[in-house]
Amino acid sequence: MHELWRGNANAWECDELGHLNVRHYITKAMQGIGTLSDLIGMRRAFGGDASATLIARTMHIRFFAESRPGAPLHIQGGVLDVRPDGLDAVLMMYHSATARLAASFVISLDHAAPRSGQPFTWPDRMQSRLDQLLVRLPDEAGPRGIEPAEPASDLSLQRADALDLAWAGRGRFLPEDADMFGWMRAECAMGKVSDSVIHFKEGFPEQWASHAGNGPARRASALLEVRIAIRNYARPGDGFVIRSGLTGVGEKVRNLVHWVLDPVTGRPWWSVEGVACIMDLDARELVPTEADTLASLRDQVREELKL
């Protein structure tokens, strides 16, 4: 694999859980994709004058070891598969001081026109470079708690209402959310959800209860694995709502899905499928779900809810 990024977990990128927020994992991964584009021969793929770029469509991410403030990190990666008008990339993020795996990313990207987002075929001159970048999928980067499947096609506000999905978030896309081409940056796909998931009290009642009390919250929800399907890229000024539901519950983990939708048209921006847990912020470990809470959560499960 090739080194694609090297840096650290900045303190301002870490959240109330005391570790790197999920959006900034994607920020660093997308910088790695920029380096990969250089190796392919697309040197200005993410510059304002680009004639072709790489647009993320799906992502599968696993989190292995916390990245605390200041932690030195680096990313290695390569190309898993080449399609006529795109590729699948794998990136492995490591703690540089210990060589411990921090996270893995499998990202499906379109080779596309930057301003229309329309995919188009690779030029012949890039084929040999793409072949030289091919790598095998490391065992750790494969799915564990999420079954590979095609994203659902029936996402809408009407369908969210029919499933009685919780209202977890609402907001706008701001100028700082946009990339060089005026489209939403890829890290927004987790950033907007991360900003709102605290309101998903149906999925994390323990966390909601801790915020309702007088003392500091010492338990919080954390992601272990996530899959993201980006259907449409928003522009600054667009709005969004987030509708959320549980798809499964175990003693230590819960499976959930978030639909991020346009509040005006009802069409999907993107959807997120995750495996999450409740984390003890002092012991830095997963907390088993108490029996009565587990029973209540199982009543909230919507098995028909899909990514």
Q: Are 197 and 168 within 8 A, CB to CB?
A: yes
pLDDT over threshold 80, residue 213: no
> Pick the residue with more confidence: 178 or 219?
178
Q: How confident is the model at residue 148 (pLDDT cuts 50, 70, 90)?
A: confident
What domains lie within the chain, and their CATH numbers? 1-142 (3.10.129.10), 146-307 (3.10.129.10)
Neighbour count for residue 241 (Cβ, 10 Å):
20
Q: Tens of pLDDT along 251-281?
A: 999 999 999 999 999 999 999 999 999 888 8
Q: Are 234 and 271 within 8 A, CB to CB?
A: no
pLDDT over threshold 90, residue 220: no
> Pick the residue with more confidence: 71 or 285?
71
Q: What is the pLDDT of residue 114?
A: 93
Q: Please state the pTM of the whole predicted model.
A: 0.95
Q: Tens of pLDDT along 226-245?
A: 999 999 999 999 999 999 99
pLDDT over threshold 80, residue 9: yes
